[in-house]
Amino acid sequence: MRHFIIDTDTASDDAVALVMAMKHPDVQIEAITLVGGNVGIEQGLQNALYTVELCGESIPVYRGLAQPMLRPLQMAQHVHGVDGMGDIGLPLSGRTPAEGHAVPVLIDTINKFAGNITLVTLAPLTNVALALLQDPSLASKVTECIVMGGIGQGYGNITPAAEFNIWVDPEAAKIVFESGIPITMVGWDISRTYATLNQADAAQLSQVSDLGKFCMDIQKTVMEFALERTKLDGFDLPDPIAMAVALDRSVITVSKKLYVDVEIHSELCRGQTVVDHLSATGKTANVEVVLEASRERFMEMLYDAVK
């Protein structure tokens, strides 16, 4: 059995990633930790608690940091909806998170399962950075840290240079990327290229089960945003493809260990993941960067999760 911790700013694509992990037979999720990101922390908690309950699970969901380390929180409700779950009228209130705070929970859980603990980050890296600052030894205890964030090759979704999760809290991302934790980075380019679903794909998945329908219904505002703004043939699922990598690395078809730094000073390039593809800096590679993935395998895993 593999042990997982999932750090999330639960909105529509995070919820699908949670479903994939909860439905995977070989994975035990020890904790779900929330951070401010797509939506405010209280809404994110409710969204995660609802999703856990829907899957019939009782995994503890912990409140973490509401704000980035140094900057005001900028959310993505224009993408995921005011409630983060597509504004389809789900009853997203009244559930109670577990007692305790995400940062000590990260520290204690990683220490407890040292050597067999996968950390999956689907959100700004605020909680993870603080845990690493408090206990730097965590970096060598985590088996792997799958990061949905940044861009391996190409352009961003929040600015031309940056992907949302890294852009929201670039200082936290820099701390995590420099910590020595074994990162596999699944950037936005990977979801845009290999995890995009069009209306027909969504309709088909909705027919598989109630859970399939839930996973697609909550993409309502993302679908509208994607068609209008990202000009994709459908909408992308960044957190689910990162979760697919965490669950089964065979979804990766090409990856490379490269040096990656995070831009924190520039206004224009805030949160850019600067990937040294040609070893121009001479610095030691610190991140396994996913460069290509299998859409077929990803779709298979999505279907397996909801069937």
CB of 281 to ligand BDR, least distance (A): 25
- Tally of CB atoms within 10 A around 228: 8
Q: According to the binding rule CB under 6 A, does residue 145 interact with ligand BDR?
A: no
Please give the residues from 77 up to 136 whose contact with ligand BDR meets the rule CB under 6 A: 79, 122-123
Two tokens, residue 97: 């998170």
Give whole-number Cα distances, 135 to 20, 108, 138, 171, 286, in Å. Answer: 30, 10, 6, 17, 19
For ligand BDR, give the closer residue by CB, 13 or 113: 13
User: What angle, 0 to 180 degrees and rounded to 10, lies between the N-to-C axes of helices 199-206 and 295-306?
Assistant: 30
Of ligand BDR, Ca ion, none, which one sits near residue 83, judging by CB under 5 to 8 A according to partner kind? Answer: none
Query: Under a CB-based contact definition with an 8 Å cutoff, are residues 187 and 196 in contact?
Result: no
Pick from 307, 305, 276, 221: which is nearest to 19 by CA? 305
Please give the residues from 69 up to 88 whose contact with ligand BDR meets the rule CB under 6 A: 76, 79
Which residues of this protein are in contact with Ca ion, per CB under 5 A? 9, 14, 122-123, 239
Q: According to the binding rule CB under 6 A, does residue 193 interact with ligand BDR?
A: no
For ligand BDR, give the closer residue by CB, 48 or 148: 148
Give whole-number Cα distances, 15 to 51, 80, 219, in Å. Answer: 6, 11, 10
Dist CA 85 CA 81 (whole Å): 6
- Candidate residues 30, 239, 263, 288; the one interacting with ligand BDR per rule CB under 6 A: 239
Q: According to the binding rule CB under 6 A, does residue 7 interact with ligand BDR?
A: no
- Candidate residues 7, 14, 169, 189; the one interacting with ligand BDR per rule CB under 6 A: 14
Residues present in the chain in total: 307
CB of 167 to ligand BDR, least distance (A): 8
- Candidate residues 144, 163, 169, 189; the one interacting with ligand BDR per rule CB under 6 A: 163
Two tokens, residue 229: 């703004």
User: What angle, 0 to 180 degrees and rounded to 10, lies between the N-to-C axes of helices 295-306 and 210-217?
Assistant: 120
Q: Residue 26: exposed, middle, or buried by beta-carbon count in 10 A (0-12, 13-18, 19+)?
A: exposed
Q: According to the binding rule CB under 6 A, does residue 238 interact with ligand BDR?
A: yes
Q: Kindly write out the interface string for residues 25-64 of this chain, putting x where it contacts ligand BDR by CB under 6 A and - elsewhere.
A: -------------x--------------------------
For ligand BDR, give the closer residue by CB, 38 or 43: 38
- Candidate residues 43, 51, 165, 193; the one interacting with ligand BDR per rule CB under 6 A: 165
Contact segment (CB under 6 A) with ligand BDR among 8-16, 127-135, 250-258, 292-300 equals 8-16
Question: b or e along 33-64 (b: 16 or more beta carbons within 10 Å of the residue's beta carbon)?
Answer: bbbbbbbbbebbbbbbbbbbebbeeebbbbbb
Which residue is nearest to ligand BDR, using beta carbons? Answer: 164
Distance from chain centroid for Cα 207: 26
- Candidate residues 49, 73, 130, 148; the one interacting with ligand BDR per rule CB under 6 A: 148
Residues that bind ligand BDR (CB under 6 A): 11, 13-14, 38, 76, 79, 122-123, 148, 157, 163-165, 188, 238-239
